Structure 1
Amino acid sequence: MMKKLSYIYGLLLLLSVSCTDDFEEINKNPNSPDVVTNVGLLLPNAIRASVNKSYSSAYDRGGIAANLLASDFASNFSNWTRADATGYFLWNYYDYIRDLNEVISISEKQNLKNYKGVALVLRSWMFQSLTDIYGPIPFREAANAKLQGISAPAYETQEAVYAGILADLAEANTLLGAGNETVTGDILYNGNTANWKKLANGLRLRLLMRQSKRVNPTAEMQKIVADPNTYPLFTSHKDQAALEYLADMQANESPFYRSGNGGTNTKVSKQLVDYLKTTNDKRLFIYALPTPASSAIDANGNRPDPSKFVYAGDLNGIGMFPNANITSPSGMLWMSIQFSPDLASAKGGQGIIMSYSEVQFILAEAAEKGFISGGSAAAGNYYLKGIKDQFAYYASRVPANYAASYLKLSPASISADDSYFKQEAIAYTGTAAQKLEKIGVQKWISLYQIGFEAWSEWRRTGIPKIPVGPVGPGYVPRRMFYPADELRINEANYQKAVSWLGADDLKSRVWWDVN
C-alpha cells in the first residue's frame, strides 16, 4: 500500500512540475502574443477599428457639433460628459496606438521601412484626431506600457504634438516605397505604399493649415506643392483614404449597417438641408432621405412620386424633436437595416480618413491667402476641383438597386451642371473674404460623416455660423472633457495639461483655436 501511495504521489509531483513548466505556454493568449514575428498581423484591426470608431463617432457626435446632423439628445451639449470621452470621442485610439507602436518598434529592428511608414501615417492621423478634440494629450510616451513600462504617460502641449506629428509624417514620406518588403494586412490600400505617401502629405497640409494662425505654413506648403514627385498628393477620389466595406461577413460591414438608431434620433441639420436646397445641390439626395411623412405609403399601397418628396432638417439644441416624421434622416448610405432592410447597404458608404476634396479646399485656401503660389486664379481652380470630385465620388457610391427603389436615385441623379457653378453662392467671385467663406462652406459640406473634421474646421474658421439652440449650455463646445480615468490614474500629468488649457471644460480652446 505504501509503495502504491508513493507511486501515486510521485506521479502527481511529476505532473505538477510538468504543468508548472508549461503554465506560461498553456496560458498565452494566441490573439495577443508576446512576440510578433509578422507585423502585418497587427494592421487589420488597427485600421478597421480606428476608422470605424471615427466613422460612427461622426454620426454620434462629430456631425452634430458641426451642425451637419441634428440629434434630440447629443445636441444638448450639457449632456457631453467625461463618460462619453472614451466611447464617443476616440480616447480608446490609444489601444490601437499601442499596436502601432509595436509595429514601429519591430520595423526599426528589422529595417522594415514600408511597415514603419504605414504605421507612422496611421498613428499620426489618430494623434491628430485626439489632440484636436482635447488639446494637450499623451504623445511620445503614450501607449508604451508594454514596450517601455510607462503606465502614466506625460501630456504634451498641442504645439509640441503638432510638431511631432508633422515630423513623423515627413519621415513616413521618406520611408514609404524605400523598403523591399511587401506590406500585408493593409486593408486600406492593399499594400500600395504610393497611396500611403499621398495620405501622409495630405495630412501634413491639414495640420499646416489648421495651425496656420499660430505657425506660418508658407515654406512647408510651398515645398510640398512645388515637388509632386517627392511629395505626391491624391489625384481624385479614387486614391483618397477611404476604407471599403465588404458584405461578405459582419466584421467587415459598414458600422451603420446593423446600428440601432434607424433614423429616429438623429436627423440632418436644418442648416445643411436649407443650404443644399437653396443652391439646388444634388448632394442633398445623398446626405438626406425624404421626410417619412412625405414619402410614406398611402392607403392604396403606393408612394408619392419622388418630385413630391420633402427634405427638411431640424435644429440642434431644441430638445426632443417635435415630430420625427417631418424631418429628414441621414442618407441611405449611412442607414441601418432597421430603417430599410431592402435599401440599407453594408458597403455603400466608406470610412473616410481624408478625401481628395479636402486636400483641394486646403490648397484653395492656401492659394487665396498667399501661402502657395497662384493667387486667386489657382484658388478658384482648386475650389472647383474639390466640388466636382465630391459629386463624382458620391455618384460612384450609389448602389445599383436604388434606381428601381422608391428613391429613384441613380449616379446620374448626383450631378452638377454649369448652371450650378454659375450661381452667386457657388461661383468663385467676390472679395477675398467672400471667396474664403465659399471655400469654407464647401469644405464643411464635404466633411459630412468624416470624424470630427467639420467641427474642427468650424472652430478654426467660424464658417459657417452655427445657431445655438435654447436647450443646453448656450454655446457650441470648443473641445471635450478628458476621460474620468485620467483624473484617477494619471492625475499629476492630467493636472499639468489642465494648467495649459486653463480649465478642463467645453469652453476652453485648444492651441490652434484662435479668435
Structure 2
Amino acid sequence: MKKLITYTLASVLALGMTNCTEDFKDINTNPHGISDESLQQRFNNIGAKFPPMFANVIRVEPAWNYQLQHNLNADLFSGYMTTPTPFAGNISNQTYSLNSGWNQFIWTDAYDANDGNGVMPYARGIDEQVELAGDESSKMFSYISDIIKVTAMHRISDVFGPLRYSKYNDYETTGAYDSQEEAYNAFFADLGTAIDQLKAFEGQPQFTPFDLSEFGGDIAKWRTYANSLRLRLAIRVSNVDPALAKTEGEKSLSSDAGLLESENMAIDMQGFIHPLATISEGWGDIRMSAEMESILKGFNDARLETFFQPALGNGVEGEYKGIRLGIAIEAKSDYGDHSKLGTYLGGLTSKDWMTTAEVYFLKAEAALRGWTGAGDAQANYESGIRASFAQHGAGGVEDYIMDVTSTPSDYVDAVNASNSIAYASDVKIAYDATAPKEEQLEQIITQKWIAMFPDGQEAWSEFRRTGFPKIFPVVVNNSGGTIDTDIQVRRINFVDTEKNTNAANVEAATALLKGPDNGGTRLWWDTGSNNL
C-alpha cells in the first residue's frame, strides 16, 4: 500500500504543478488576493489527501486486504461467491463463527490512518486544509470529499450499524458514535449540500489532477454520481422510514444534477489488477456460489460466461458449478476445481462504485413505491437489464427480457448430495406488472443482484433489506446460537480494536442496536418486511 500511495501522490503533485498553472489565472479570481501560485499550492496540499480516500473505499492492494475487507464476509453472505478453503477448520465466517481478526479490516480501512489507510482521517484533513485556506475556491474539495466519505461510510454503517461519523471532526468527540438513523440523516445532509454547492464549480478544472475516477475532474458528473448515491440511500431506508425515503428519493429524481444513465462511476486501480482475480485464480480461495449457479443457469443468462469459468474437475468438467456456503469441507481439493471467477477480472483497469444498471433498478423500485419522477417500473427494469448486458458484452438481451418460462434451478452438490437444495422461488425474468407488488419487487431485486456483481457489499445489504434473491441457508452453523440459520447473518459485531481503545463509546453504541452486539441483530433499516 505504501508503494501505491507514494506513486499516486507523486503523480498527482506532478500533474498539479503542470496542469493547473497554464490556464488557472483565466479561470479563477481569488477573492482574498492570494497569488495564483500560493492558491495552487494550497490545492496541492488538499488534493494530496484524496488518493488514500479513493483507495480505501474498496481497497484493491494488497489483495489479502480486500479478501478481509469484503471477500470473506459480504461476498459470501450476499450469495455471490463461496470459498472452497476450510479456513480454521471450517470455524470462521463461512459457518457464522465471525472472525474478528478478519472483520476488523472493514473498520480499519475506514478509520486507521496508519500506512495510508483511513477514509475518515483524510476527509477530516481535507476539511482542515480547506478551512485554513479560507477561500471559496477551496470549498469544492470538501464537497467532493463528502461524496467519497458517504460512499465509504454508508457501506461501513451497513455492516456494523452505529458508527463514528457526524462527530468525528471534533477531536473532543471523535470517538462518539451515531445511531444508524442519525448517520443516514447526516449522509443525506452531506450529499444534499454537495449536490447543491458543486453546481457553482461546474466546468472548473481544479480537481482534475486529483480525480482517480473516470470522470476526469468533471464536477457535473460528480454531482450526477452524488445524486444517484442519494437515490441508493433513499431506497435503502424505504422500509424503516418511508416518508424520509420518499422525500430524499424524489429530490434525486427531480434534481438538475441528473442520474447515471450512460457512464458508470468507476475508479482507476492505478495499474493493479482486481484482487478477486488474485484470490480466485492465483490463490484458489474463492469460487462461484450455489445461488449464482441456480439463478444464472436457470435463467440461461448469457452473463454467466463472463462472470465465471467452467469447472475443471470433480466430475463436472466443463460445467458451471458453484459451492453452497456453510457446508462441511474437509480439504480445499473437495471443491477446488469448481468454477473460478471470470478471467475478465484480470483485465479490468477500474473498480465500480456504482453502475448505470443499478440506477435503473433503483428507479424501478422507486416507481413501484409510487415516487414522483421515477417513471415506469417495467421500463426501468428492462433498461437495467439492457445496461448490465451491455456492460458485460453479453448477447441476446431482448429474448432474455421476454423470457416468461425460465426460473432458477435447484442446486445439486456434485460432491455431497446431502448439501443439495431446492431453490425457494419460481421468480421469472419477463416483468409481470400485474403481479402483486412484492413479486414485482422480487423480480427487480433479483436482476439488480445479478447486475451489481461482484459488489458483494451492496448485494448483501439489499438481500437483508428485501429478502431477495433467495439465499440458501448454511448447513453448518457455528455461531453458538447468536445467528439464526434461516434468518442468516444480519451484521458484524463491533471490532476488537474499538472495544480495546474506545470501550465507553462502543458500549454506548451497543445500546443503539436493536439487540446484542452479534451477527444476529438486525440493523435499523433491516425491518424484516417490505412496506409495499
Asked whether the equivalents of residues 75 and 316 of structure 1 are also in contact (C-alpha less than 8 Å), the reply is no
Within the alignment, does 1:496 sit opposite 2:512 as a pair? no
Shift in alpha-carbon separation, 1:451–1:317, aligned structure 2, 3 A: closer
Deviations 1:129-185 (A, max 9, x none): 11111011111233x4xxx43475111111000000100000110222423561021
Question: For residue 241 of structure 1, what is the aligned residue in structure 2?
Answer: 265
Question: For residue 352 of structure 2, what is the aligned residue in structure 1?
Answer: 352
Structure 2 counterparts to residues 43-54 of structure 1, below 5 A: 43-52=50-59
Between the aligned partners of 2:462 and 2:261, the Cα distance in structure 1 is 23
Between the aligned partners of 1:85 and 1:417, the Cα distance in structure 2 is 38
SS of alignment partner, residue 452 of structure 1: helix
- Higher mean alpha-carbon deviation, 477-486 vs 263-272, is at 263-272
SS of alignment partner, residue 233 of structure 1: coil
- The offset of 1:101, in angstroms, is 1.4
1:201 equivalent among 214, 217, 227: 227
- The offset of 1:81, in angstroms, is 2.2
Structure 2 counterparts to residues 29-108 of structure 1, below 5 A: 38-52=45-59, 56=67, 57-72=69-84, 73=87, 76-87=94-105, 89-94=106-111, 95-108=118-131
Question: For residue 430 of structure 2, what is the aligned residue in structure 1?
Answer: 427
Between the aligned partners of 2:95 and 2:126, the Cα distance in structure 1 is 38
SS of alignment partner, residue 155 of structure 1: coil
Question: For residue 363 of structure 1, what is the aligned residue in structure 2?
Answer: 363
Asked whether the equivalents of residues 162 and 178 of structure 2 are also in contact (C-alpha less than 8 Å), the reply is yes
Shift in alpha-carbon separation, 1:418–1:232, aligned structure 2, 3 A: closer
1:231 equivalent among 240, 254, 257: 257
Question: For residue 132 of structure 1, what is the aligned residue in structure 2?
Answer: 158
Structure 2 counterparts to residues 472-487 of structure 1, below 5 A: 472=477, 473=479, 475=485, 476-487=488-499
Q: Which stretches in structure 2 are left out of the alignment for 5+ residues?
A: 1-8, 11-41, 112-117, 405-427
1:110 equivalent among 112, 130, 135: 135
1:92 counterpart letter in structure 2: D
Asked whether the equivalents of residues 491 and 523 of structure 2 are also in contact (C-alpha less than 8 Å), the reply is yes
- Higher mean alpha-carbon deviation, 414-423 vs 489-498, is at 414-423
Q: Give the TM-score of the pair, scaled to structure 1.
A: 0.77
Structure 2 counterparts to residues 150-161 of structure 1, below 5 A: 150=172, 153-161=175-183
Within the alignment, does 1:186 sit opposite 2:211 as a pair? yes
Asked whether the equivalents of residues 291 and 322 of structure 2 are also in contact (C-alpha less than 8 Å), the reply is yes
Q: Which stretches in structure 1 are left out of the alignment for 5+ residues?
A: 1-29, 297-307, 335-344, 396-413
1:223 counterpart letter in structure 2: K
Between the aligned partners of 2:206 and 2:380, the Cα distance in structure 1 is 34
Shift in alpha-carbon separation, 1:161–1:37, aligned structure 2, 3 A: same
Q: What is the aligned-residue RMSD (CA, Å)?
A: 2.7
Question: For residue 323 of structure 1, what is the aligned residue in structure 2?
Answer: 334
Between the aligned partners of 1:352 and 1:434, the Cα distance in structure 2 is 29
Shift in alpha-carbon separation, 1:442–1:280, aligned structure 2, 3 A: same
1:93 counterpart letter in structure 2: A
Higher relative contact order (CA 8 A, sep 6+): 1
SS of alignment partner, residue 92 of structure 1: helix
Between the aligned partners of 1:354 and 1:328, the Cα distance in structure 2 is 26
Within the alignment, does 1:284 sit opposite 2:301 as a pair? no
Within the alignment, does 1:173 sit opposite 2:179 as a pair? no
Within the alignment, does 1:415 sit opposite 2:395 as a pair? yes
- The offset of 1:36, in angstroms, is 8.4
1:370 counterpart letter in structure 2: G
Q: Percent identity?
A: 26
Asked whether the equivalents of residues 383 and 439 of structure 1 are also in contact (C-alpha less than 8 Å), the reply is yes
Between the aligned partners of 2:489 and 2:446, the Cα distance in structure 1 is 20
Task: Report the number of matched residues.
Answer: 429
Between the aligned partners of 1:139 and 1:490, the Cα distance in structure 2 is 15
Asked whether the equivalents of residues 76 and 82 of structure 2 are also in contact (C-alpha less than 8 Å), the reply is yes
Question: For residue 440 of structure 1, what is the aligned residue in structure 2?
Answer: 445
Asked whether the equivalents of residues 293 and 322 of structure 2 are also in contact (C-alpha less than 8 Å), the reply is yes
Q: Give the TM-score of the pair, scaled to structure 2.
A: 0.75
Between the aligned partners of 1:261 and 1:118, the Cα distance in structure 2 is 36
Deviations 1:261-307 (A, max 9, x none): 636231111111121111111110111110013999xxxxxxxxxxx
1:182 counterpart letter in structure 2: Q
SS of alignment partner, residue 500 of structure 1: coil
- The offset of 1:45, in angstroms, is 2.5
Between the aligned partners of 2:398 and 2:491, the Cα distance in structure 1 is 40
Within the alignment, does 1:164 sit opposite 2:175 as a pair? no
